[in-house]
Chain A
Amino acid sequence: MSQAEISITGEPITDASCRFTINRPVLPDKSFACLNKEAADDSPLARRLFEIEGITRVMISHDQITLHKSSSTDWPMIGKSIGAAIRSHLASDDPAVSDSAWENVPSSDEIRQGVQQVLDSEINPQVAGHGGVIRLIDVQDNQVFIQMGGGCQGCGQADVTLKYGIENAIRATVPGVGDILDVTDHASGRNPYYTPSTK
Chain B
Amino acid sequence: MPRVLLLLPTTTYRTEAFVAAASSLGVDVTVASERPNTLARLNPTALLTLDFQNPPEAANRVVEFSTSHTIDAVVSVDSQVVVLGAAISAALGLRHNSVQSATAAHDKHQMRQRFKQAGVPSPPFMLGSLDEDRAAMASRVDFPCVVKPLSLAASQGVIRADDEKQFIRAVNRLESILNVELAKSTATDDSGTSSQTRATASWRQFLVEQFVAGPEVALEGMLKGGELSVLALFDKPDPLEGPFFEETIYVTPSRLPAKAQAEIASCAEHAAEALGLTEGPVHAELRFAENGPSVIEVNARSIGGLCSRALRFGDGMSLEELIIRSALDGTCELPSREEKASGVMMIPTTRAGRFITVDGLSDAKAVQGIEELTILAHARQPLVPLPEGGRYLGFIFARGETPAAVESALRASQSKLRFEIEPFTDSEAASLGLPRLSKKRLNP
Contacts and interface: CB of A to CB of B under 8 A. Distances in A.
Interface in B356-373: none
B393 to A, nearest CB: 11
Nearest to B328: A14
B10 A194 contact: yes
Contacts of B78: 198-199
A150 B37 CA distance: 15
A15 interface: yes
B29 A195 contact: no
Nearest to B20: A159
B421 to A, nearest CB: 16
Interface string B370-386: 00001110111100000
A22 interface: no
A163 B299 CA distance: 29
Given A11-B317, A132-B38, A168 B46 contact: yes
Contacts of A164: 29, 31, 37, 39, 43, 46-47
A156 B375 contact: no
A164 B299 CA distance: 29
Interface stretch (B1-9, B233-241, B337-345): B1-9
Contacts of A126: 38-39, 41-42
Name the residue in A9, A19, A165, A166 with the highest tally of chain B Cβ atoms < 10 Å from its Cβ.
A165
Contacts of A4: none
Name the residue in B16, B80, B325 with the highest tally of chain A Cβ atoms < 10 Å from its Cβ.
B16
B79 A14 contact: no
Contacts of A16: 1-2
Interface in B317-363: 317, 325, 328-329, 332
Contacts of A149: none
B11 to A, nearest CB: 5
- What class of interface size applies to chain A in its complex with B? 35 or more
Nearest to A11: B315
B391 interface: yes
A130 B153 CA distance: 26
Given A11-B315, A14-B325, A126-B39, A190 B26 contact: no
B1 A187 contact: no
Contact of B304 (A19, A157, A163, A199): A199
Given A9-B315, A164-B31, A198-B80, A122 B42 contact: yes
Interface in B1-40: 1-2, 8-13, 15-16, 19-20, 23-27, 29, 31, 33, 37-40
A168 B42 contact: yes
A54 to B, nearest CB: 15
Contacts of A196: 11-13, 15, 376, 391
A36 to B, nearest CB: 13
Contacts of B380: 190
B29 to A, nearest CB: 7
A127 B19 contact: no
A152 to B, nearest CB: 9
Contacts of B42: 122-123, 126, 165, 168-169
A199 B38 contact: no
B56 interface: no
B33 A157 contact: yes
Contact of A11 (B10, B12, B20, B314): B314
A108 interface: no
A190 B379 CA distance: 5
Given A159-B19, A199-B13, 11 more contacts: A11-B315, A13-B26, A14-B328, A14-B329, A130-B38, A157-B15, A168-B42, A169-B39, A190-B378, A192-B378, A197-B391
25 contacts: A9-B315, A11-B315, A13-B325, A14-B27, A17-B25, A17-B26, A19-B24, A123-B39, A154-B378, A156-B10, A157-B37, A160-B33, A165-B42, A166-B39, A169-B42, A195-B391, A196-B15, A197-B11, A198-B9, A198-B11, A198-B13, A198-B79, A198-B304, A199-B13, A199-B79
7 nearest CB pairs, A to B: A165-B39, A199-B304, A164-B46, A196-B13, A159-B19, A199-B153, A194-B10
